[in-house]
Amino acid sequence: MIARLFSLSAVTALLVLPAAAMAQEAAEPNVLDGDHLIVGAGGIYGPSYDGSDDYVFSPFPVIQGRIHGIDITPRQGGVALDVIPDGKDARIGFSFGPVASLSFNRNRQIADSVVRAAGKLDAAVELGVSGGVTAYRLLHDYDSLTLSVDVKRDIGGAYKGMTWSPAVSYVTPLSKAVLVALSASAHYAGGKYARYYYSVTPVQSAASGLPEYAAKSGWDSAGIGMLVGWDLSGDMRDGGWALFGVLAYSHMLNDAWRTPYTAIRGEAGQWTSGAGVAYTF
C-alpha cells in the first residue's frame, strides 16, 4: 500500500474536493456553508513503498466535511480535525486540532522480492496535531492559499518516533463545476523513523543480500501535486456527485535516497496518479 500520497500526509487533504474557496460565496445557497459531509472512494496507482520503482494499485476511502463547527479533513489512512472555525467572510483563517493515521509503508504490497526478503515492517499508528493558516480571496473572490504542518508520533510500536510535514496548497475554482488544487510539501523524518524505514540492519542484510546501511534523521522527501474536481450537476455548491483526479510527483532525499532500498532496488523520483468519485450531502 502507498504510504504517503504526495510523499506526506498533509497533502492528502487534496483527495477530495477542497471546499474552502467556494464556501466563501454567500450570494447563492451553498451546502458547504453549514454542516455537511463529502464521502467517496477511489484508486491510486503509485510506488509499492517509499522509494520503490515497482507500482501497485491501492483503493482508498475519503471523508471530509464539517459537523457542529468542527472541520474534518482526510489524511492518508486517517483524518485530521480542525476545532477553530473560520468566520464566513474571513480573509484569514486558522486551523488546529488532532490528527491520526495508519501507515503501511513496507507492510503490504511489497512487490520487490529482495526488499520483501528483508522483512515486512509493522504498521505504524500515528497520533499528533495539525495546524495551519489560510488566506482567502487572493486573486479573486473564491480562491485560497493554505500553509499547514502535521506533527505526529508513532504510538503503535513500529518506528516509535516523530515526523513533521509542512505543506502549502492553493485552491481555485475554474467554474462553478470545476475546481483545481495545487500543492507542494515536504516530510522530515526523525532519527527513529529514518532508522526503521531506511536502515539495513545486519539481519536484514543477511536475509536480502543488500549492504548494511545506517540512516539518520533529516528531510526524506518533497513533492508537488495537482487535483482536478468536476461536479456532475454543474455546481459544486448544491452537493451531489463529483469526480476527481490526482497527479503527483515526489522525490526521496538524503538518507531516504541513499538507502539501498531506494538507491539499489528502487528509484528516487516517483509518480502517483489516481481518480475517484465523491458525494456531498
Three-state secondary structure readout of 225-260: EEEEEEECCCCHHHCEEEEEEEEEEEEECHHHHHCH
Instruction: Report the pLDDT value the prediction gives residue 3, as an integer from 0 to 100.
Output: 38
Instruction: Report the pLDDT value the prediction gives residue 108, as an integer from 0 to 100.
Output: 93
Grid coordinates belonging to 123: 504498521
Beta partners for residue 244, in sequence order: 229, 276
Mean pLDDT, rounded, of the chain: 90
Query: Among candidates 14, 13, 32, which has minimal Cα distance to 22?
Result: 32
Contact yes or no for 96/131 (Cβ under 8 A): yes
**Residue 112 one-letter amino acid:** D
What is the mean pLDDT of the segment spanning 209-226?
A: 97
At 31, the pLDDT band (50, 70, 90 cuts) reads confident
Instruction: Report the pLDDT value the prediction gives residue 22, as an integer from 0 to 100.
Output: 53
- State pTM to two decimals: 0.89
Instruction: Report the pLDDT value the prediction gives residue 19, as an integer from 0 to 100.
Output: 52
d(C-alpha 188, C-alpha 254), whole Å: 11
Backbone φ and ψ for 64, nearest 5 degrees, come out as -150, 155
- Judged against a pLDDT cut of 70, whether residue 28 lies above it is answered with no
Backbone φ and ψ for 5, nearest 5 degrees, come out as -65, 135
Half-sphere exposure of 50 (CA within 13 A, CB side): 32
Instruction: Report the pLDDT value the prediction gives residue 34, as an integer from 0 to 100.
Output: 82
Domains parsed from the chain with CATH numbers: 5-280 (2.40.160.40)
- Judged against a pLDDT cut of 50, whether residue 117 lies above it is answered with yes
| Cβ neighbours of 129 (radius 10 Å) | 15
Grid coordinates belonging to 96: 488546529
Contact yes or no for 147/135 (Cβ under 8 A): no
Of the chain, the end-to-end C-alpha distance in Å amounts to 29
Grid coordinates belonging to 99: 490528527
Query: Among candidates 37, 41, 32, which has minimal Cα distance to 62?
Result: 41
- Judged against a pLDDT cut of 70, whether residue 18 lies above it is answered with no
Name the H helices within the chain: 113-117, 191-198, 202-208, 254-258, 260-263
